[in-house]
Structure formats: C-alpha cells, structure tokens
C-alpha cells in the first residue's frame, strides 16, 4: 500500500531497497522498477578496489532520475580489520565511495566495523587485539571518515552487527557512543531492524528513537537474518515508533532487504 501525501509528510522518511533484489539488466532499469513500486531510491552495493568509482558513468545516468541512493558494503575487509594494511585499504575505499555518493546525490555510506572476522562466542574466544585497541582503531577510522564525509556534505553510517558476525560493535548504543567519541558530525549509527541472534526473540520494546535523535539517522529493515524470518510486526513497529519520535527535521532513511523479488503490483 502506498502512503498518502499527508502520511508521507508526517513520517518524513525515505524508503529505499537494495539493488541486488531488483529486476532489470541495468541500474537504470532497476531504478525505474523501484520508483514504480513506490520506493524513493535504491541502496547500492559497494565493492573493493574502488569498484564503486568504476561505476560512475552508470551511476550518473541513474542519478539523473532524481532518486535517492544509499550504499551497502560489499567489500572483503572492513575498517576494523586486524591487519593494518587491509584496514587502510578499507578506509581508502570508504573515502572513495563517500566521494562517489556525494557526486551522484546520495545520502551516505554504511559499513560495520567488521563482518565474519571474529566472534567472542566462537572458538578461539580470545581476539588477537584488546578491546581498548579495538576502540582506538575504530575511533581513528571514524574520525578520518567523518572528516571526509563532512567535506563531501554527506554521512558515514556505522552498522552494529550481532555477536556472531562481529565482536566489536553489536548494539546501536555502542555505535552511537563511538560516533560521539570520534568528535565528527559526519558519522552516524545505523540500526538494522529484523536482524538478531539465532535462538533469541526480538525485544518487545525498542530504545531506537532516543538513540537516533543523537548520533543515528538510518534504519535497515531486514526481512531475513540468521536463517529465519522475523515477525513483520517487529520491523514495522520499529519503523513506526522511530518515525514518530525522531521528528520531521531528522528525515531518517529506511532501507528494505526483501526475502524475494516481487512485482510492483504486489
């Protein structure tokens, strides 16, 4: 169901969908489908080796359709990597992607601290770097990326993952704390609604709105995580309370990760 103009103005948010879930051979075709389905824009997949910059001709053509674009990490390594060389390369790729997104009118770039690198819940249980060093490494990266984001006029979003996917940033409060400690206005926390830890039920109450008022401004509604489908009411409850409580000036961005492709008519 498409929102009425009155409800859209009241919610004051943008709804995007990830590009890999959209039908179409070209990005322009995917953009057309998304807009026909009622989305405000699409969430782009990032690539290593400055891959997003290599797509600039295609991205410029799609951007002329005046849609909204976000970015989803698709790199093999991340800003919290244990290896200093890989970490530096990840930061360089993030900077390039921030510049690309600024050029095509996107809102920002998102990335977790790491993904699948280490978990405190799985053997060997003790990471090769202390928690204090983890924090130092992430703050250095966030400060550098925040400075670049401010210069480009967009934002960098730090995404918390569950404790089996990442050992450094698992909660929105942790992401918000790191963003605040970086002392850069260009970094924000990202909330992924619908994700979770296998065997644990999603919380009945959500601390999302007050946190987003501070250093968070984007929400990802994930329709499948950890091999299960979360209750749709959980995702839409979080969306609704966040939209009401954040306020009109924040204009939070919501992205949708569907379970399977559907036609615009559905």
| pLDDT at residue number 41 | 80
CA–CA separation, 171 and 191 (whole Å): 8
Average pLDDT over residues 19-27: 89
pTM of the predicted model as reported, rounded to 2 decimal places? 0.75
Cα–Cα distances (Å) from 204 to 13, 208, 262, in that order, read 23, 12, 29
Question: Where is pLDDT greater, at 72 or 206?
Answer: 72
| pLDDT at residue number 195 | 47
pLDDT grade, residue 226 (50/70/90)? Answer: very low
Average pLDDT over residues 103-110: 89
Q: Does 118 have pLDDT greater than 60?
A: yes
pLDDT grade, residue 249 (50/70/90)? Answer: very low
The sign of the dihedral angle between the CA atoms of 144, 147, 148, 154 is positive
| pLDDT at residue number 255 | 59
Instruction: Name the residue ranges covered by the structural domains of the chain.
Output: 12-257
- Tell me which of 135-149, 155-169, 199-213, 233-247 is least confident: 199-213
Average pLDDT over residues 87-98: 94
CA–CA separation, 220 and 76 (whole Å): 21
Outline where the chain has alpha helix (H).
5-11, 27-36, 51-54, 56-63, 84-103, 131-152, 172-181, 208-214, 232-246
Topology, domain 12-257: TIM Barrel (3.20.20)
Average pLDDT over residues 219-225: 53
Question: Where is pLDDT greater, at 180 or 3?
Answer: 180
| pLDDT at residue number 42 | 85
Q: Does 258 have pLDDT greater than 70?
A: no
pLDDT grade, residue 86 (50/70/90)? Answer: very high
What percent of the chain has pLDDT above 90?
A: 40
pLDDT in tens, 174-193: 999 999 999 999 999 887 65
Write phi, then psi, for 169 (nearest 5 degrees): -130, 105
Tell me what the pLDDT averaged over the chain comes to.
75
Tell me the CB-side half-sphere exposure of residue 150, using CA atoms within 13 A.
13
| pLDDT at residue number 261 | 43
CA–CA separation, 156 and 213 (whole Å): 16
Burial (0-12, 13-18, 19+ Cβ within 10 Å), 123: exposed
């Amino acid at each position: 169901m498409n929102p009425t103009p009155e409800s859209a103005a009241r919610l004051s948010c943008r709804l995007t969908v990830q590009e890999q879930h959209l039908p179409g051979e070209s990005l322009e075709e995917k953009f057309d489908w998304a807009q026909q389905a009622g989305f405000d824009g699409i969430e782009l997949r990032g690539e290593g080796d400055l891959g997003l910059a290599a797509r600039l001709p295609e991205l410029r053509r799609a951007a002329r359709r005046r849609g909204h674009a976000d970015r989803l990490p698709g790199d093999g390594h991340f800003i919290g990597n244990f290896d200093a060389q890989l970490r530096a390369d990840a930061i360089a790729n993030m900077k390039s992607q921030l510049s690309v997104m600024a050029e095509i009118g996107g809102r920002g770039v998102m990335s977790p601290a790491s993904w699948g690198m280490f978990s405190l819940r799985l053997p060997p249980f003790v990471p090769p770097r202390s928690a204090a060093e983890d924090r130092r490494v992430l703050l250095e990266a966030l400060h550098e990326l925040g400075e670049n984001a401010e210069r480009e006029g967009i934002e960098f979003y730090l995404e918390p993952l569950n404790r089996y996917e990442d050992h450094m940033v698992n909660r929105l409060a942790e992401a918000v704390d790191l963003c605040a400690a970086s002392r850069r206005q260009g970094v924000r926390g990202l909330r992924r609604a619908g994700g979770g830890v296998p065997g644990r039920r999603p919380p009945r109450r959500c601390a999302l709105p007050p946190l987003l008022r501070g250093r968070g401004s984007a929400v990802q509604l994930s329709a499948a995580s950890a091999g299960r489908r979360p209750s749709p009411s959980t995702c839409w409850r979080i969306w609704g309370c966040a939209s009401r409580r954040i306020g009109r000036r924040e204009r939070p961005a919501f992205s949708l990760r569907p379970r399977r492709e559907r036609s615009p008519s559905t």
